[in-house]
Structure 1
Amino acid sequence: MSNAPEKAKSWRSRRLSELGSSIFAEVAAWKRAAAAGGVDMIDLGIGSPDQPPAEAVREALAAAALRKDTYAYPATKSGMPFKEAAAAWMKFRFGVEADPSDEIVTLLGSQDGLAHLAMAICDPGDAALLPDPGYPIYSASLALAGVEPILMPLRAENGYMPDLEAIDNETWRRAKFILVNYPNNPLSAVADLAFFEKLLAKAREHGVLVVHDLAYSEMGFDGSEPPSILQVQGAKGQAVEFHSMSKSFNMAGCRLGFLVGNSEAVGALRELKANIDYGAFDPVQEAAIVALNEAMSNPAYERAGELYERRRDAFVDALHAEGWKVDKPSATMFVWARLPDMTWDLGQPWTSRTISQEMLKTTGVVVVPGEAFGVEGQGYVRIALVESEERLLEAAARIGRFIRGEHVIK
């Protein structure tokens, strides 16, 4: 009898290799190396708000956390107060009526819902239409659910909108849902109601659910107020929409959001979620209610977009002065920048990845290569406006010296 040991089994599933972008792991490694070398980093990589929630929100969270009655499973309560506040906010902000009982489900952040929706509404072997570039959880959620992604290229010449007419009838027939995201991460493009009307008409023709990610609804610039797809008459028969407390209300660490719209799709996600978690911590929900009420009742309330618009203007103008002519975004907390014309030779082709890595190494400024969001992102980088204006101006100055080959960090 052989005493040779059995071949070790792998305790890592193959699907993990399909989740997210390996480039994010690379960027994290670049940052660790820079930090170990004592580099003064200006991290414009991850879109995490650098401001706290309003004081009243923090006070509500603290007070609720001190109460003895807030530590039961959230699922033992109805969760209705937050959903009622979310419904009131949908009415206030978009003029959209939503039944909090049947048309809203509370989530541990919108990413939680995006990660699980395909499991709730699709079967393995189904297909879904996704944007390219797109936020990585879109494709990762399909990998988890065994759903085939069909990518829609989003390009500058088409205003970063999907060409709906280029999608043939057979593809529409195969798709279970189509996912769009406006204002868009990473592209910062904004859609209007005319686009949503056209999209809904196409989807209705082929029986396809429309999923809209509206995480950046309160980050429109130049006086714009990004619309909800649910403002289109009859949209709830064909669409659902994700909302988040993270970016609009500076509550990213609290992990709270909601899905609103078509009752069947919302109910499917609610049913799946009931088997996965017990809901959001009640003090977080209470704090979120305060945040929503503040937005609805305080005439002096400053929407998140106002801060990022000021930062956009300062940073983009500074980049222009340094010789990098990037487009001014219309919304979000990101600049989607076509690669600059480099005046020095790296010894290998300049790509989104090589520029991002070399920029961090030589200047300490962190950006994300565009290809982290899909094939169509090659030739771009995403820059997050998540530092003070002073630090953003310093970042622009460092980037300018980088473009000219004047390395700031030796």
Structure 2
Amino acid sequence: MHSSPPDWITTPLTEDLLRGALDLEHTAHGVLPHRLPARARAQCADPQLAMAESQPSGVRLVFRTRAGAVELDTLPTKRVYAGAPPRPDGVYDLLVDGRLTDQARVRGGNTVTIDMAAGTAESRPGPVGTLRFTGLPEGVKDVEIWLPHNETTELVALRTDAPVEPVPDRGRKVWLHHGSSISHGSDAASPTTTWPALAAALGGVELINLGLGGSALLDPFTARALRDTPADLISVKIGINLINSDLMRLRAFGPAVHGFLDTIREGHPTTPLLVVSPILCPIHEDTPGPSAPDLTALSAGRLSFRATGDPAERASGKLTLGVIRDELARIVRERAAEDPNLHHLDGRELYGQADSAELPLPDQLHPDAATHRRIGERFAARAFAADGPLGTPPRPAVCG
């Protein structure tokens, strides 16, 4: 670990310096940001959910300072997939006054090796690492350090060469979003280039990202987390994980969507709420799940997925993306008669057939970095436009 000059200031890592997390767990090393509250985590022992919600997509340190240099000690947990090419270390994005200024990675950390063929995972502990940003502009500035969207990250220590203080409310609307691994940011280049982060920047809103890889399953505890989180704008992207996991049939799906929306509305009765159906995913448009790793691709050193269901099973209520899109459109249309702030967006407006021909999903499920940018730009244009479903004017600045 890098030793800091003795005149540097160590600032406690507290909630008032963090945005995008719903809970902070105190650990032996420091603090671990969570994107689901402790009560929700206690209601589900699924390792996939535990991994996803502890990966800090959209979570960032935000502070105001005159500092010219910043150090951050972290303990990341990195994933390795047996038989697949090594994954790059997670990226930390540094923003100064809203502009991307630098990027860094942390070596070392814990490692989880996942064998998708055997369905096993093995953990190995590792050391705390340090990242350093230097040469920051002179004068008072707002600094944001966006944590890696795909690495569980314990925050150990923050050091600067000048004092820091929390950034006051900027008067921006808070956008609360829930979705699957695509919303989580799978295969995006960095934490500020996941499609929700890009859309939030374009829309001028503050993001709370509850995109949970493999875990957007209409769980009641997730609905309660959405219900209880203060927000000005809400969107929920529903569908693909229910097919990936083959979790429910059409009979259960409709009532589960209603229950999920009912719970959100208990805490946000009139908040603009946008229901987004899945983007195009050719392997599951008409073929049910579950999804499974493509072992032929894995043996060739590529991570890819395939659909294992039979299209004929739709007759018995198995879900496909086409079925889910139709059902979501129907549910929103019927509910909107009494809920004028409820809206629907067909995910194929964000990524459709023409996009698939130009920018195919590399592993058959997840978009690449260029596609994240396209989806983010289109969501911002459709949702945050002045006449869009989430296009409300900004809150007035708080004075005094």
Query: What TM-score results when the alignment is normalised by the length of structure 2?
Result: 0.22
More helix by percentage: 1
TM-score, normalised via structure 1 length = 0.22
The higher relative CO (CA closer than 8 Å, separation ≥ 6) is in 1
More strand as a share of residues = 2
